[in-house]
Amino acid sequence: MNPKISIIVPVYKAEKYLRRCLDSIVAQTFTDWECILIDDGSPDNSGKICDEYAEKDERFRVIHQENQGVSTARQNGLNNSIGEYVIHTDPDDWMEKNMLEDMITHIKSSNCDLLIVDYYCDKNAESKISIQKPTTDTSISLLHDILKGKLHGSCWNKMIRKNVIDRYNAKFIYGLSFCEDVMFWVQILQHSLKISYLNKAFYHYTILGNSLSTCATKKHIEQRLKFAEILEKMIDNQEFSEEIIRRKLINKLVAFKTGFYSNDEIYALHTEINCLQFNIEFINHIDKLLVHLIVRKHFIIAHLLYAIVKILYCIKYVTHK
């Protein structure tokens, strides 16, 4: 008999936190699950830890593959899953013991195709709840919320019927390591689904201290560019024009902040866009001002403004430390 829930865990260089993640799965009060661990050619002891748990508990299945990236790992797990419902977990995160039970109970009572829940954001020993209530319960509205950044685009706070994934042939895009989960939802949420929301947090999303300034590389920016390109091809709906243009403008902003590109290269990114046509939403007013300066080639002013912002940030950090 097939399990009710398939939990997919892509694993790469996760030995430090992996046991915590897997122990939280073992501790679930709902027991009718399978957990597919995809060891993505991890060079540390992650693969051995996966095998260790599979030897102790037959509900764990391990797939060892050469390093191909997170999208291929997720897709490999999805291809091998046999549960009625699917949810993902990242190896450096963990879940409360009642997560699966409360989610499946709500799914049964609401008869929904997709369930969304809140989550905990854990950083520096501090845990805050992030509310993930959609604007409405329609698929298109939920996709707008995700693309605008109002809701997290992850797969770990959402449980979905496996037959919905199969029906729309949704895939994780090979070679995409930036927002691969968002692109997965783009394929699904352009179709009508019955969506429900449960105002509870179970999943602990761990932020390990990485930021744009410490982890961004030119490869990361190239992945952002690839995401924007695929997104535009994937959505043939003018209703999402603003979200697509916003993503392109943010690419310019990230390329500017990281310093990997010349001013001319930054300006050349997505030259077809005209931000003046849209009331684009940004995280803060400084970023919006920077983008307007960049698209007008006012790079000297933009660099000066960004330098002042970084100095003020450092002063604030030292003052509050």
b (16+ CB within 10 A) / e for 245-256: bbbbbbbbbbbb
Both 51 and 199 in one domain: the answer is yes
Both 201 and 217 in one domain: the answer is no
Both 156 and 238 in one domain: the answer is no
Residue numbers of the domain that contains 78: 5-206
Angle subtended by helix axes 218-234 and 180-188, to nearest 10:
0
Percent of the chain past pLDDT 90, that is, above it, reads 66
Both 314 and 172 in one domain: the answer is no
C-alpha to C-alpha distance for 93 and 24, rounded to whole angstroms: 9
One-letter identity of residue 82 = I
Both 232 and 256 in one domain: the answer is yes
Q: Which of 206, 231, 257 is the last residue of a domain?
A: 206
pTM of the model: 0.88
Number of folded domains that form the chain: 2
Q: Which of 186, 206, 226 is the last residue of a domain?
A: 206
263 phi/psi in degrees, rounded to 5: -60, -40
Both 112 and 155 in one domain: the answer is yes
Both 146 and 235 in one domain: the answer is no
CB 145 within 8 A of CB 135: yes
Both 262 and 306 in one domain: the answer is yes
Task: CATH number of the domain at 84, please.
Answer: 3.90.550.10
Both 190 and 273 in one domain: the answer is no
User: What is the pLDDT confidence band of residue 321, given thresholds at 50, 70 and 90?
Assistant: low
Both 38 and 163 in one domain: the answer is yes
Lowest pLDDT segment from 8-22, 77-91, 182-196, 275-289? 275-289
Task: Compute the Cα dihedral for 154, 156, 160, 162 and give only its sign.
Answer: positive
Both 102 and 197 in one domain: the answer is yes
Q: What integer best gives the mean pLDDT of the chain?
A: 90
- For residue 207, the 8-state DSSP code is P
Percent of the chain past pLDDT 70, that is, above it, reads 93
